[in-house]
């Protein structure tokens, strides 16, 4: 938990005229100090405090359910000084809802705890701080857009719907594993040296058909044939990296020797 600190601890003359005036006119603003690795804001929290960081560094993090170890994904960092402060947690002022990311101190951080009413006053009469607030908001938007573009690249998969007619062969033993096939409906048969296997439900894991050769980049060792009108999804080998990222547990299982 943060603890109060005396604003006079900061170097004489370090605070801008606007910050000094803000403190003089709003005696209820609370200066607080965070120790190393303490959270200024927590993801999914419904608190609405906004912090103006005056000194120290912080890390912005977001939970990533795709990571099996549960570690958060780092979105960015910041380092502040009284001459170049930064707002943290300001998105709760602009949009209702729980916080979308966490901010954790990296070393000691000194900040001002602000309420929505203080942000209203800043926008009304503190142009320098308003510009800092707008810069922070714009940076969050840019970071969010970049993250969306990153995820589109990392997790978008090239795929096609394949409508197979009775007797149509989707792949033969010895063919390159050009697609990862996923059963949707119909009756298919896998034919191999050990016999045949009928596929007519999504009972297999994620509905994937003979996925091991695809993940290992090896030729198919069986032949897949449609017995009835069938629909399957074919994920292209061009998207193998993205497919591994989308299905990491399955990939690890099938890539294991």
Query: For residue 215, how many other CB atoms are within 10 A of its CB?
Result: 20
Residue 113 near residue 22, CB atoms below 8 Å? no
Q: Rounded to the nearest 5°, which phi and psi values hold at 125?
A: -145, 15
Residue 19 has pLDDT above 80, yes or no: yes
User: Residue 189: its pLDDT value, please?
Assistant: 94
The two structure tokens encoding residue 176: 């390159």
Is the CATH number of domain 3-151 3.30.230.10? Answer: no
Element holding 222 (H helix, E strand): none
User: Residue 21: its pLDDT value, please?
Assistant: 93
Residue 22 near residue 122, CB atoms below 8 Å? yes
82-86, 152-156, 163-167: least confident range:
152-156
Q: Rounded to the nearest 5°, which phi and psi values hold at 41?
A: -140, 155
The ranges assigned to domains in the chain are: 3-151, 159-255
In 123-204, at which residue ranges do the beta strands (DSSP E only) sit? 159-164, 169-171, 179-185, 188-192, 195-199
Looking at per-residue confidence, does 145 or 220 come out higher? 220
The answer to whether domain 3-151 and domain 159-255 are alike in fold is: yes
The pLDDT confidence band at residue 91, using thresholds 50, 70 and 90, is: confident
The two structure tokens encoding residue 23: 């403190």
User: Residue 49: its pLDDT value, please?
Assistant: 94
In 21-141, at which residue ranges do the beta strands (DSSP E only) sit? 30-34, 39-41, 50-62, 73-80, 86-88, 102-114
CA angle 167, 169, 170 (to 5 degrees): 135
The pLDDT confidence band at residue 202, using thresholds 50, 70 and 90, is: low
User: Residue 221: its pLDDT value, please?
Assistant: 92
What whole-number distance in Å separates Cα of residue 63 and Cα of residue 43?
Answer: 8
What whole-number distance in Å separates Cα of residue 40 and Cα of residue 109?
Answer: 9
In the chain, at which residue ranges do the beta strands (DSSP E only) sit? 3-4, 30-34, 39-41, 50-62, 73-80, 86-88, 102-114, 159-164, 169-171, 179-185, 188-192, 195-199, 208-209, 223-226, 230-236
The CATH number of the domain covering residues in 159-255? 2.60.120.10
What whole-number distance in Å separates Cα of residue 211 and Cα of residue 182?
Answer: 9
Rounded to two decimals, the pTM is 0.57
**How confident is the model over 174-178, as a mean pLDDT?**
92
The two structure tokens encoding residue 117: 């009413």
Residue whose structure tokens are 């509905």: 207
117-121, 180-184, 220-224: least confident range:
180-184
The pLDDT confidence band at residue 251, using thresholds 50, 70 and 90, is: confident
Residue 96 has pLDDT above 80, yes or no: no
Residue whose structure tokens are 């045949």: 196
What whole-number distance in Å separates Cα of residue 36 and Cα of residue 177?
Answer: 50
User: Residue 220: its pLDDT value, please?
Assistant: 93
User: Residue 86: its pLDDT value, please?
Assistant: 92
* pLDDT tens digits, 71-85: 787 777 889 999 899
Residue 82 near residue 55, CB atoms below 8 Å? yes
């Amino acid at each position: 938990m943060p603890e109060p600190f005396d604003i006079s601890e900061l170097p004489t003359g370090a605070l801008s005229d606007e910050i000094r005036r803000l403190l003089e006119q709003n005696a209820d603003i609370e200066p607080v100090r965070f120790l190393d690795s303490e959270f200024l804001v927590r993801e999914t929290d419904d608190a609405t405090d906004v912090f103006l960081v005056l000194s120290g560094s912080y890390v912005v993090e977001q939970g990533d359910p795709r990571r099996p170890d549960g570690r958060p994904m780092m979105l960015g960092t910041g380092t502040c000084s009284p001459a170049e402060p930064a707002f943290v947690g300001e998105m709760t002022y602009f949009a209702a809802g729980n916080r979308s990311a966490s901010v954790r101190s990296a070393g000691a951080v000194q900040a001002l705890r602000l309420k929505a009413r203080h942000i209203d006053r800043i926008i009304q009469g503190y142009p320098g701080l308003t510009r800092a607030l707008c810069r922070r908001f714009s940076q969050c938007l840019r970071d969010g857009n970049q993250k969306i573009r990153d995820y589109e690249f990392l997790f978008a998969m090239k795929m096609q719907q394949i409508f197979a007619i009775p007797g149509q062969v989707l792949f033969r033993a010895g063919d390159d594993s050009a697609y990862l096939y996923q059963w949707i409906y119909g009756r298919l048969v896998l034919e191999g040296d050990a016999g045949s296997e009928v596929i007519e439900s999504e009972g297999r894991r994620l509905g994937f058909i003979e996925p091991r050769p695809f993940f290992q980049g090896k030729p198919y060792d069986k032949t897949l044939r449609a017995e009835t009108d069938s629909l399957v999804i074919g994920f292209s080998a061009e998207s193998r990296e993205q497919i591994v990222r989308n299905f990491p547990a399955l990939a690890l299982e099938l890539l294991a020797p």
